[in-house]
A = this chain, B = another copy of it.
Amino acid sequence: MGGVARGARRVGGGRGGVGARRVSLLVVGSLAYDTVETPSGRAEEVLGGAATYFAYAASFFGPVRLVGVVGDDFRPQDRALLADRGIDLRGLTVAPGRTFRWRGRYEGDLNVARTLDTQLNVLERYRPAVPAPFRDSRFVFLANSPPAIQESVIEQVAPGALVAMDTMNLWIDGARAELARLLPRVGAILLNDQEARMLSGEPTLVRAGRAILRLGPKVVVVKKGEHGAFLFSEDFFYALPAYPLEEVTDPTGAGDTFAGGVMGYLAQAGRADAAHWKRAMLYGSVVASFTVEEFSLGRLRRISREDVDARYRELLSFTAHP
Contacts and interface: CB of A to CB of B under 8 A. Distances in A.
Residues of A contacting B: mostly: mixed
Interface in A267-322: 274-276, 278-279, 282, 316, 318-322
A227 B222 CA distance: 13
Interface stretch (A49-57, A116-124, A204-212): A204-212
A241 interface: yes
A239 B245 CA distance: 12
A244 B318 CA distance: 19
Contact of A321 (B227, B230, B247, B282): B282
- Copies per complex of this chain: 2
Contacts of A39: 203
A204 B320 CA distance: 22
A126 interface: no
Contact of A275 (B237, B278, B282, B322): B322
A318 B238 contact: yes
Query: Contact size class for A?
Result: 20 to 34
Most chain B CB within a 10 A radius of its CB, from A240, A248, A321: A321
Contacts of A278: 321-322
B276 A319 contact: no
A239 B204 contact: no
A135 interface: no
A58 to B, nearest CB: 20
A228 interface: yes
